[in-house]
Amino acid sequence: MFLHTGVFPMRKFGVFLFLCFLVAFGFVCLAGDAQEVAQEMAGEVVMVLSGDTLSVKVESKATEVRLHGIACPVRGQPYADEAKSFLMRSTLGRRVTVEVVSETDSTHVAGRVFLMDGTAIGERVLSAGYGWWDKSAAPDSVEFGQLQDDAKEKGVGLWTDEDAMEPWAFQDTVDTEPPEMDTIIVYLLACLVCGLLLLVFFLFNKMRGASNHVARESSTDYKTIENCKRSIRDLLDNISGTVTGLTEDNQDYHESLKGHKASIAKQTTIKGLKQIERLLVGELDRMLAKSNDYQDRLAQANATIKEQEEAIEQIQTDANKDSLTGIANRRAFSARINEELDRAERYGSVFSLILFDIDNFKAVNDKYGHLGGDRVLEGLTGVVADCLRSSDFFARYGGEEFAIILPQIPAEGALLVAEKARKTVEATTVTSGNDRIKVTISAGVSEVRAGKDTRESLITRVDEAMYSAKQGGKNRVERPGTKN
């Protein structure tokens, strides 16, 4: 008998949030006088502690680095969060070189920090107005003083309020007008993200809708759903990382070039213009390197997207296939019979349904074990499939129960197909190790009543015919009201 119980549980699909920041943690500073040192180290910025302090991972060890010669607002002071956010955008997750000027101990140093393209982070913070020249630490850094004066004249960051005498006295907020996003790649990726999100949600909803018709699911179905969700999460994470990186780089370009433009307008000396020229050349070199990086990252994103699309398509295919026999599963059968019923009601077309069950299958499992039972299911599937047309639909309905949909075939033709399958199975011997196993099947057959039948009424009628065949002695084919 066919049981119509059990509904596959589906968890709600939540929107994946993009992670922006790592959880901040700090080290307790040990007391001690800083000693002058002369060394250089390179590593990856893993954390930003404040506007002028970051944590660099060097050979698996985290070192706290304070930017030499500048100071930024501390926590609780105005612009402290803005300064920290600016340093995070500029350095977090990137490799840097640190020219150590002084150190308190092996994990707490002060020095000049450079990106791999040569950009000096301290000078960048001063140019953006998120810090000021620390004369006590770097009294002879004339360049720091010049950059601070430039930021004051532009009125950016800390220097928004022209009347303030101290950096921490500022109360006005930073100008939050968004930068121009004139990088075409960013727009292309944004469109690509929207399209992929629509594709992902369409596939997910389609799978969820199909699952509402499923009466019983195997453990394999749970795995395919989890694989699909995992692929979707990976896809969104990859897109998020790529778009976030490109957007931050583009914003950095805008801020730097705007600052250089303002500096050119106010310069009156050859020395000052030479300084601006040097900064612009460095900026152009950095932009050229980033342009090549954009192309590589875009190509990588396209490759990742293609892989994820293929993975999702494969998962959707696997979700409709029985893992043991390779034929359609109950989910796919539910979708197909609904399509045939809609076609019959709309166009008056005909189709027939065959349900059959392996006789005494429990005894087969008891005698030959579940491995022997699996060999019987695989062998039976192969010989029955050979009796069908390419347009017929063959599915494992559950356990030892199978279903066949025969489009454009009335009941009389379906009886012939079912009888042919019954005789073929009866004549087949399945080998499992040293065992030779023979089985028979009992089948029920009925034609759809266009405009009258629902899926439930048709399956129930055929199910009852199959049950009658079992009660009549098994190894038989019957249709409602007729015995063969």
**Residues sharing a CB contact under 8 Å with residue 95, sequence separation 6 or more, in sequence order:** 42, 43, 44, 45, 115, 116
Q: Which domain holds residue 80?
A: 35-169
Element (H, E) at 401: strand 401-407
Residue ending a domain, choose from 287, 319, 351: 319
Q: Which residue has the tokens 């003083």?
A: 145
Instruction: Confirm whether 149 is domain-assigned.
Output: yes
| In a shared domain, residues 233 and 310 | yes
CATH number at residue 164: 2.40.50.90
| In a shared domain, residues 65 and 92 | yes
**CA torsion through residues 76, 156, 283, 133, sign:** negative
Give the tens place of pLDDT for each residue, 392-418.
Answer: 999 999 899 999 999 999 999 999 999
Q: In this model, does residue 365 exceed pLDDT 90? A: yes
Q: What's the pLDDT at 445?
A: 97
In this structure, the dihedral spanned by the alpha carbons of residues 82, 88, 91 and 97, taken in order and rounded to 10 degrees, is: 80
Instruction: Confirm whether 175 is domain-assigned.
Output: no
| In a shared domain, residues 337 and 456 | yes
Residue 262: φ, ψ to 5°: -65, -35
E strands, 207-253, in order? none
Higher pLDDT, 117 or 60: 117
Q: In this model, does residue 335 exceed pLDDT 60? A: yes
E strands, 116-197, in order? 132-133
pLDDT category at 182 given cuts 50, 70, 90 is: very low
Residue among 400, 386, 394, 399 nearest 358 (CA): 400
| In a shared domain, residues 469 and 336 | yes
In this structure, the dihedral spanned by the alpha carbons of residues 66, 72, 74 and 75, taken in order and rounded to 10 degrees, is: -100
Q: What's the pLDDT at 260?
A: 57
Residue 119: φ, ψ to 5°: -65, 130
Higher pLDDT, 223 or 142: 142
| In a shared domain, residues 348 and 393 | yes
| In a shared domain, residues 216 and 309 | yes
Q: In this model, does residue 197 exceed pLDDT 80? A: no
Instruction: Confirm whether 24 is domain-assigned.
Output: no
What pTM, to 2 d.p., does this model score? 0.43
**Most trustworthy range by pLDDT among 146-155, 238-247, 380-389:** 380-389
**Residues sharing a CB contact under 8 Å with residue 317, sequence separation 6 or more, in sequence order:** none
Q: In this model, does residue 467 exceed pLDDT 90? A: yes
Q: In this model, does residue 26 exceed pLDDT 70? A: no
Q: What's the pLDDT at 103?
A: 85
Residue ending a domain, choose from 277, 294, 319: 319
Q: Determine the average pLDDT of the residues in 264-288.
A: 64
Instruction: Confirm whether 325 is domain-assigned.
Output: no
pLDDT category at 1 given cuts 50, 70, 90 is: very low
Three-class DSSP category at 81: helix
Q: What's the pLDDT at 172?
A: 37
Return mean pLDDT, the chain: 77
For 319, how many CA atoms within 13 A lie in the half-sphere containing its CB? Answer: 26
Q: What's the pLDDT at 306?
A: 75
Residue ending a domain, choose from 300, 319, 338: 319
Q: Determine the average pLDDT of the residues in 58-72.
A: 88
Q: Structural domain tally of the chain?
A: 3
| In a shared domain, residues 255 and 361 | no
Contacts 24+ apart (CB under 8 A), 39-44: 39/100, 40/97, 40/98, 40/99, 40/100, 41/97, 41/98, 41/100, 42/95, 42/96, 42/97, 42/98, 43/95, 43/96, 43/98, 44/93, 44/94, 44/95, 44/96
Instruction: Confirm whether 19 is domain-assigned.
Output: no
Integer Rg of the chain from CA: 36
Give the tens place of pLDDT for each residue, 277-318.
Answer: 677 667 667 766 766 776 777 777 777 777 777 777 777 677
Q: What's the pLDDT at 191?
A: 61
Residue among 104, 94, 103, 101 nearest 124 (CA): 94
| In a shared domain, residues 346 and 269 | no
Instruction: Confirm whether 176 is domain-assigned.
Output: no
CATH number at residue 460: 3.30.70.270
Q: In this model, does residue 353 exceed pLDDT 50? A: yes
pLDDT category at 430 given cuts 50, 70, 90 is: very high
Instruction: Confirm whether 219 is domain-assigned.
Output: yes
Q: What's the pLDDT at 74?
A: 85
In this structure, the dihedral spanned by the alpha carbons of residues 46, 48, 49 and 55, taken in order and rounded to 10 degrees, is: 40
pLDDT category at 137 given cuts 50, 70, 90 is: confident
Q: Decide: 465 and 478 in contact? Cβ < 8 Å.
A: yes
Residue among 5, 47, 2 nearest 26 (CA): 47
For 83, how many CA atoms within 13 A lie in the half-sphere containing its CB? Answer: 31
| In a shared domain, residues 336 and 460 | yes
Q: Determine the average pLDDT of the residues in 180-202.
A: 57
pLDDT category at 438 given cuts 50, 70, 90 is: very high
| In a shared domain, residues 238 and 284 | yes
Three-class DSSP category at 446: strand
| In a shared domain, residues 310 and 341 | no
| In a shared domain, residues 335 and 315 | no
Higher pLDDT, 6 or 345: 345
Q: What's the pLDDT at 286?
A: 72
Instruction: Confirm whether 9 is domain-assigned.
Output: no
